[in-house]
């Protein structure tokens, strides 16, 4: 049975995620660890640029573009943070991708490749479909005609990986994951002060050191 989090806590998760991803060094590390190595080899992560995440009437958590090394073009990476499993997540991601493509095709002659990722930090097991075909009605042939779209699932431990413990960005990743765990707790006295502190941050902050 899927239990949905309160709206306040869900917003706190999203605010924290958007804050850390606004730091280019963190975002580069996240993308590097999240995408398959064969894809990373063809990307120039030094060119990563955060884009407006407002897609018409839809608001996503993070969008960036990265140039390819083998050809003069860029790809878009769309990341949505989730603190609970949503059975309709595959459909939501399809909507986000279509809106992002529609937005950029107006300015570019070529339709950009969009890579959708879901970053999950919830406590429940993530046991909902990663692909649209699993929630579509109809038979197999009908589903294939539906052009089902898969997305990648990234969980906290995947970001730590084999990073060197003395690397400052590694410590920031660990601290961020610990912050997500704190927000998961039922005791609001523990996680609300964290979010209030985050909302008041201005100028220099811990992430500026990288």
- pTM: predicted TM-score of the whole model, two decimal places: 0.72
Find the domain containing 55 and state its range. Answer: 7-199
pLDDT of residue 195: 60
What sections of 41-160 are H helices per DSSP? 89-105, 140-145, 156-160
Asked if the structure places residue 206 within a domain, the reply is no
- Residue 121 domain-assigned (yes or no): yes
Residue 191 domain-assigned (yes or no): yes
In a domain, 74, yes or no: yes
Residue 210 domain flag: no
- Is the pLDDT reported for residue 19 higher than 80? yes
What is the count of structural domains for the chain?
1
Asked if pLDDT for residue 125 goes beyond 90, the answer is yes
Q: Is residue 51 part of a domain?
A: yes
Going by pLDDT thresholds of 50, 70 and 90, the confidence category of residue 207 is very low
- Tell me, what's the pLDDT at 203? 43
Q: What does the pLDDT read at residue 9?
A: 61
Q: Which residue has the higher pLDDT, 34 or 163?
A: 34
Can you give the length of the chain in residues? 210
Asked whether residue 87 carries a pLDDT value surpassing 90, the answer given is yes
Q: What is the mean pLDDT of residues 34-38?
A: 93
Three state DSSP letters for 122-155: CCCCCCCCCEHHHCCCCCHHHHHHCCCCECEEEE
**Residue 22, CA distances (Å) to 3, 142, 164 in order:** 29, 40, 23
What does the longest C-alpha to C-alpha distance in the chain come to?
56
Residue 194 lies inside a defined structural domain of this protein:
yes
Q: What is the pLDDT of residues 100-111, one digit of tens each?
A: 998 888 877 788
The rounded percent of the chain whose pLDDT value lies above 90 is 37
Residues 8-34 have a mean pLDDT of 86
1 inside domain: no
Measure the CA–CA gap between 181 and 190, rounded to whole angstroms: 11
């Amino acid at each position: 049975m899927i239990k949905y989090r309160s709206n306040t806590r869900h917003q706190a998760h999203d605010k924290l995620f958007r804050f850390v991803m606004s730091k280019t060094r963190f975002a580069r590390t996240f993308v590097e660890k999240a995408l398959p190595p064969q894809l990373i080899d063809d990307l120039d992560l030094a060119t990563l640029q955060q884009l407006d995440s407002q897609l018409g009437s839809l608001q996503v958590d993070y969008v960036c573009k990265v140039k390819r090394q083998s050809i003069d073009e860029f790809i878009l990476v769309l990341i949505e943070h989730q603190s609970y499993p949503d059975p309709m997540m595959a459909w939501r991601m399809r909507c986000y991708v279509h809106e992002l493509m529609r937005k950029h095709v107006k300015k570019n002659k070529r339709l950009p490749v969009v890579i959708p990722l879901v970053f999950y930090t919830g406590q429940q097991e993530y046991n909902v479909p990663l692909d649209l075909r699993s929630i579509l009605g109809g038979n197999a042939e009908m589903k294939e005609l539906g052009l089902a779209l898969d997305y990648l699932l990234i969980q906290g431990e995947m970001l730590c990986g084999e990073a060197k413990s003395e690397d400052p960005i590694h410590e920031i990743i660990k601290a961020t994951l610990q912050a997500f765990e704190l927000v998961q707790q039922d005791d609001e006295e523990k996680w609300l002060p964290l979010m209030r502190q985050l909302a008041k941050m201005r100028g220099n902050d811990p992430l500026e050191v990288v």
